[in-house]
Amino acid sequence: MSDKRVSRWYFGGLASCGAACCTHPLDLLKVHLQTQQEVKKRMMGMAIQVVKNDGVLALYSGLSASLCRQMSYSLTRFAIYESVRDLMGTKSHGPMPFYQKVLLGAFGGFTGGFIGTPADMVNVRMQNDMKLPPQHRRNYKHALDGLFRVFREEGIRRLFSGASMASSRGAMVTVGQLACYDQAKQLVLGTGVMGDNILTHFLSSFIAGGCATFLCQPLDVLKTRLMNSKGEYTGVLHCFKETARLGPLAFYKGLVPAGIRLIPHTVLTFIFLEQLKKYFGILVVS
């Protein structure tokens, strides 16, 4: 008989919010880099420009929308993935095969991506607002104001602009993060060299963050362009064609800042999640 703690369904959303508070400036810079029509500035140059023009606090522009996104998108995908994984593990008395983790991660991420699309769109708009001329800025006060104004001024369909791309990206990043984290952690623990401690969590989540960055970057670029558009794209295919005109590397624009943001975000998310699970998780006797 041994006791262990499993995650509550909402822990993933809380852990993601904690990570987002730490990595939001990197996310903002990533959006600014991806929405450049031509590569004019690199990450440090963009950071200096933002601070110079709008102040240090501008690096946290759109934080409310980012937290709103985590509590819709991340909460959903973690809830689906971890609930089903724990249920299957209890029935089979062992870890799921990797291919099942991939399929489950893809389903959870696709569902979470769709549900989180409205908050994600407002997040992108709020982060990119400062780049626009004053007369063209949307000036959302916070996430809820942005959601309400889009619904009132542009209709409910606009709230789900880019939903297919956001859902596809959600599937890929969830496979990279959750499925790869579980598998990496399982392999690390299987060596017997390391125990279930914070170092193992760090190593496993670092690997997962790298996998997620590579898998989702092309979709992330298309999603950002679609959500920030003012009608210049007729759909996903048109956006893809226009981006392709800039060359294959355009799909990996902002890859370094994306990795710099997504890898620490992944590491922090899982470290927070493991600590929540350790101290506040549901006790299971096996």
Whether the pLDDT of residue 260 is over 70: the answer is: yes
| Cβ pair 156, 117 in contact under 8 A | no
Q: Among residues of the chain, what percentage have pLDDT more than 90?
A: 42
User: How many domains in the chain?
Assistant: 1
pLDDT in tens, 154-164: 888 889 987 88
Q: Which has more pLDDT, 265 or 50?
A: 265
Distance CA 257, CA 26 (A): 7
How far is Cα 48 from Cα 28, in angstroms, rounded to an integer?
13
Please name which of 206, 218, 181 lies closest in space to residue 34, comparing C-alpha atoms: 218
Least confident of 102-111, 134-143, 155-164, 217-226: 217-226
Confidence of residue 53 (pLDDT cuts 50, 70, 90): confident
Residues 6 or more apart whose Cβ sits within 8 Å of residue 157: none
Which pLDDT score is estimated for 1? 44
Q: What is the pLDDT of residue 92?
A: 67
Task: Please give the Cα distance from 108 to 170 (Å, whole number).
Answer: 8
pLDDT in tens, 216-238: 888 878 877 876 777 778 777 88
The domain in which residue 47 lies consists of: 3-285
What's the pLDDT score for residue 186?
Answer: 94
Say what the pLDDT of residue 212 is: 93
Residues 125-154: what's their mean pLDDT? 85
Query: Which among 35, 223, 257, 260 is positioned nearest to 128, based on CA atoms?
Result: 35
Q: What is the CATH number of the domain that holds 171?
A: 1.50.40.10
Q: How high does pLDDT run on average in the chain? A: 86
**Unique residue bearing structure tokens 């959600």:** 170
Query: What average pLDDT does range 139-156 have in this prediction?
Result: 90
Tokens of 55: 């102040």
Instruction: Specify the DSSP class assigned to residue 71.
Output: I
How close are the terminal C-alpha atoms of the chain, in Å? 6
Q: Report the pLDDT value the prediction gives residue 239, as an integer from 0 to 100.
A: 86
Span 125-147, average pLDDT: 83
Q: What is the pLDDT of residue 44?
A: 80
